[in-house]
């Protein structure tokens, strides 16, 4: 059996907070986390981890929702902010980093995943908003850590630090995945298809908040939504709106028709579905029939059939709206999420260590009701014979996820770190006893 991991809670709490506030100040949206990745990499390097970047951890073919132009700008800004040039070169345009700790002893291959991207939301300008009041508000207008991934990255660094410090007490291999582009479910598939997780025996991931109060651990969230993210481009023909109003092909009108109809896709007998058109950008002038329009949206469903039902309706409505207004239309996939089902063995494990890790309440099941890019990772691990789990770490919030007023309860990072450390530790024990049995 393994020894208990050593950690100084007080100083770790301080460091978690510092990490989190730094990440919060420098938020970077999906596929643009160059500064964030560089900062994480520097620290992991210092701890002794071997780092993997770019194509090693991401299958470039399977990437969704990455805008080359925005990536270039993000690299510039990351440099301005002080990102490491060497790391930027290693990333080769792809954010995120995989860190490996070999213990040199036989044992399981355990992965922990932390997502690191921010959301394209304007952070609250209200003085009572804590990050603003305390001076760590977002420095990037229109981008904010309004989903708690700043905490996730910090928890990852906290876990990394303790594991590295206790290396001699561990066995097997540890793989820490600092994942980019979770928002919009844009990277999961590409990471899964890189094969970097194919040797994993145990996989752990957690999300902070999610309507779970501070102190509570939810071990086995239910009802992850399948989802398709998409951009729809309508292309018409401009014309002077005063002189020849009949001569244009109105892409904005087509987009509005499409939105109205998509929001009215009938509910489905078999369960929960969702549709959202989150953005529209159309037209170039005021007195010109608008010749272009872009919609950015997503469908969801309780299962793949339901999401497929929604997405097929979206496709049909897009086609029909285009036909109606005599414009052209093209749909570009931007992200994809599938179901996520935890392994019972790991649900039992988390249930058993929750209280000891500092949670005051441990709940087994609760509705999730959203989509998670981890679905692809969990699915990959499981289909290679590994076990995987995704759990929820409660945190009182000041506003819902993706809301500009969103803020977390920072004190909830420590129990998350301890939970994951205990999970790693216990998994190594379980695996050993299993190995022992196998050896008999």
Annotated binding site for Mn(2+): 147, 149, 183, 207, 402
CA dist 305 → 53, 233, 248 (Å):
35, 25, 39
Provide the pairing of β-strand 292-301 with 173-179.
Answer: unpaired
**327's tokens:** 């414009």
Q: What is the dihedral of CA 119, 122, 125, 128, to 10 degrees?
A: -30
Exactly one of 188, 238, 358, 415 binds a copy of itself (CB under 8 A); which one? Answer: 238
Q: Which is nearer to a copy of itself, 90 or 313 (CB)?
A: 313
Residues 317-346 that bind a copy of itself (CB under 8 A): 317, 319-321, 323-324, 326, 334-335
Identify which of 341, 339, 370, 236 has the alpha carbon closest to the alpha carbon of residue 293. Answer: 236
Exactly one of 63, 253, 362, 393 binds a copy of itself (CB under 8 A); which one? Answer: 253
Residues 205-224 that bind a copy of itself (CB under 8 A): 210-211
Question: Could you tell me which stretch among 10-18, 275-283, 373-381, 429-437 binds a copy of itself (CB under 8 A)?
Answer: 275-283
The length of the chain, given as a count of residues? 440
Sequence ranges of the binding site: 147, 149, 183, 207, 402
Q: Is 124 in the site for a copy of itself (CB under 8 A)?
A: no
Q: How many distinct helices (H) and strands (E) make up the chain?
A: 12, 12
| Residue that has been written with the tokens 């129990």 in this structure | 415
Identify which of 366, 365, 307, 357 has the alpha carbon closest to the alpha carbon of residue 335. Answer: 307
Q: Which is nearer to a copy of itself, 214 or 273 (CB)?
A: 273
Residues 142-171 that bind a copy of itself (CB under 8 A): 142
Q: Is 259 in the site for a copy of itself (CB under 8 A)?
A: yes
Question: Could you tell me which stretch among 32-40, 156-164, 353-361, 395-403 binds a copy of itself (CB under 8 A)?
Answer: 395-403
Exactly one of 91, 277, 353, 389 binds a copy of itself (CB under 8 A); which one? Answer: 277
Q: Is 268 in the site for a copy of itself (CB under 8 A)?
A: yes
Exactly one of 38, 95, 273, 342 binds a copy of itself (CB under 8 A); which one? Answer: 273
Exactly one of 107, 180, 215, 297 binds a copy of itself (CB under 8 A); which one? Answer: 297
β-sheet with 361-367: strand ranges across: 50-52, 97-102, 173-179, 109-115, 202-208, 387-393, 216-222, 361-367
Q: Which residues contact 136 (CB under 8 A, 6 or more apart)?
A: 21, 22, 24, 25
């Amino acid at each position: 059996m393994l020894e208990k991991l050593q950690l100084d809670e007080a100083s770790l709490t301080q460091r978690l907070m510092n990490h989190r506030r730094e990440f919060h100040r420098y938020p970077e949206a999906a596929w643009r986390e160059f500064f964030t990745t560089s900062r994480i990499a520097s620290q992991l390097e210092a701890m002794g981890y071997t780092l993997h970047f770019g194509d090693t951890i991401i299958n470039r073919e399977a990437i969704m929702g990455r805008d080359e132009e925005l990536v270039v700008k993000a690299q510039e800004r990351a440099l301005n902010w002080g990102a490491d040039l060497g790391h930027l070169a290693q990333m080769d345009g792809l954010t995120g980093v995989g860190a490996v700790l070999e213990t040199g002893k036989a044992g399981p291959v355990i992965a922990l995943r932390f997502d690191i991207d921010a959301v394209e939301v304007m952070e609250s300008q209200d003085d009572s908003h804590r990050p603003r009041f305390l001076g760590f508000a977002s420095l990037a207008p229109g981008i904010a850590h309004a989903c708690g991934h700043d905490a996730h990255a910090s928890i990852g660094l906290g876990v990394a630090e303790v594991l590295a410090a206790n290396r001699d007490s561990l066995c097997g291999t540890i793989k820490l995945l600092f994942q980019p582009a979770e928002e919009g479910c844009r990277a999961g598939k590409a990471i899964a298809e890189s094969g970097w997780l194919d040797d994993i025996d145990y996989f752990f991931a957690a999300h902070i908040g999610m309507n779970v109060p501070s102190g509570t651990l939810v071990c086995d969230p239910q009802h992850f939504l399948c989802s398709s993210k998409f951009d729809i481009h309508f292309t018409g023909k401009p014309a002077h709106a005063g002189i020849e109003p009949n001569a244009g092909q109105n892409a904005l009108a087509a987009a509005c028709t499409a939105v109205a109809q998509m929001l009215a896709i009938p509910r489905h007998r078999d369960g929960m579905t969702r549709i959202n058109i989150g953005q529209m950008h159309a037209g170039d002038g005021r007195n010109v029939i608008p010749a272009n329009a872009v919609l950015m949206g997503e469908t969801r469903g309780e299962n793949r059939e339901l999401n497929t039902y929604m997405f097929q309706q979206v496709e049909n409505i897009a086609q029909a709206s285009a036909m109606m207004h005599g414009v052209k239309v093209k749909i570009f996939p931007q992200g994809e999420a599938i179901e996520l089902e935890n392994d019972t063995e790991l649900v039992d494990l988390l249930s058993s260590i929750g209280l000891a890790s500092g949670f005051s309440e441990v709940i087994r099941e609760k509705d999730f009701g959203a989509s998670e890019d981890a679905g692809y990772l969990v699915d990959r691990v499981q289909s290679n014979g590994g076990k995987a789990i995704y759990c929820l770490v409660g945190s009182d919030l000041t506003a819902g996820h993706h809301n500009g007023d969103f803020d977390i309860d920072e004190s909830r990072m420590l129990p998350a770190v301890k939970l994951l450390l205990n999970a790693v530790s216990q998994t190594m024990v379980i695996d050993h006893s299993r190995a022992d049995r196998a050896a008999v």
